[in-house]
Structure 1
Amino acid sequence: MDLSTLKQQLQTLAINAADIDRKRGEAIKPLFDERLFSCLARLLTPCVSEAQSLVATLEREQESGRLTAARADYLCEKLLNQISALQREMATISIRQKERSFAPRFGTSTSQLYQDLAQHQSWERRLDDMVRDAEAKLGQCQTLVEQQQMQKNLLTLEKRLARCSEARQKIEARITFREKKH
């Protein structure tokens, strides 16, 4: 059994894992299930080391003649599962970083919430004015095409106004919740 390809693959994973660990830091909870990696690490590097250790175990048992077919199957399957899990984790890092950037900011201060509220109230007033203007223009349309275009414009504005009002209400609810907590 030639394990040189797996060793090279793990060496590449080790380099990438070290780079990712430096940039990302330690995770809040273990990255993988304890059935896959017994180290329960919050970084990738110890997991790669565990996979490399598994390769060393395979080589040692093969050289000593103690490696049975069942044991080899078990160790190889576990090793392949570990490698694919590491590759998936590394491949999805950029996706998870984008998700975090869109996640709600729980550390937002109350003063920031009030600023957001004022901004949304201002947008809501402007959108309300735009809706009224569009309604007035709708009554002045001369042709059916103009009327249809203005109705489409009015519908778009009404939807934007509804989303803005909903966002404002959520901000108000967060402020109320924060103020009740303190």
Structure 2
Amino acid sequence: MDLTQLKAELQSLATKAAEIDRRRGEGAKPLFDERLFTCLSRLLSPCVAEAKSVVDTLEREKESGKLSSLRAAHLCEKLVNQLSALQREVATVSIRAKEKTFVPKTRASISQLYQDLAQHQDWERRLSDMVRDAESKLGRCDTFAEQQAAQKHLLTTEKRLARCRDAKQKIESRIAFREKKG
């Protein structure tokens, strides 16, 4: 079990997380669910550190001969879920920054509705790409644990895509109503 590439990825994530934490600051609530990260941090860096500790645990238990196949599967699944969550968070920082600046108006102008529609179309395209990537990753899984994690990621991404499409449809309906109304 060579974890060199995984450690390099975690080091890269640690650097990005530190930069994001410095720019964004501490959030109002924990970034992730307590089942995913026990640290319940409102910053990214402690979550990356927790993922690193899972890798350290894997190595330590393997070297001492105490790592059973069941324990290894559990730790690997946890690590895959943590890495996916961290990578998603890092990848969506710019989107989250825009979400904070968005203030819903009681009566948005038609131009604002078109801007919102364009934004949702962009998100839909990105999410469709993510679904295709997740489907491709699912097809390349070697172990059952990897397959389960990939399936879970695919399902989550498909749900996000469905919500995005629903929101886009509502915006399109509002535009049609406003244009009909004049």
- Quote the Cα distance in structure 1 between the aligned partners of 2:103 and 2:77: 37
Give the aligned residue type for 1:40.
L
Answering whether residue 7 of structure 2 is matched by residue 7 of structure 1, we say yes
Residues 22-171 of structure 1 mapped to structure 2, 5 A cutoff? 22-104=22-104, 159=182
Percent identity for Structure 1 against Structure 2? 65
RMSD of aligned C-alpha atoms? Answer: 2.1
Offset, 1:62: 0.3
Offset, 1:104: 4.1
Offset, 1:96: 1.4
- Quote the Cα distance in structure 2 between the aligned partners of 1:6 and 1:67: 18
Offset, 1:103: 1.7
TM-score (norm 2): 0.57
Tell me the secondary structure at the aligned position of residue 46 of structure 1.
helix
Divergent runs of 4+, >3 A: none
Q: Tell me the residue number matched to 2:128.
A: none
The number of equivalent residue pairs is: 111
Give the aligned residue type for 1:60.
R
Tell me the secondary structure at the aligned position of residue 34 of structure 1.
coil
Give the aligned residue type for 2:59.
E
- Quote the Cα distance in structure 2 between the aligned partners of 1:40 and 1:102: 26
Instruction: Give the unaligned 5+ runs of structure 1.
Output: 106-154, 160-182
- Quote the Cα distance in structure 2 between the aligned partners of 1:81 and 1:53: 14
- Quote the Cα distance in structure 1 between the aligned partners of 2:45 and 2:22: 10
Offset, 1:101: 1.7
Give the aligned residue type for 1:58.
L
- Quote the Cα distance in structure 2 between the aligned partners of 1:102 and 1:27: 17
Offset, 1:68: 0.4
Deviations 1:57-115 (A, max 9, x none): 0000000000000000000010010000000011111111112222249xxxxxxxxxx
Bigger Cα Rg: 1
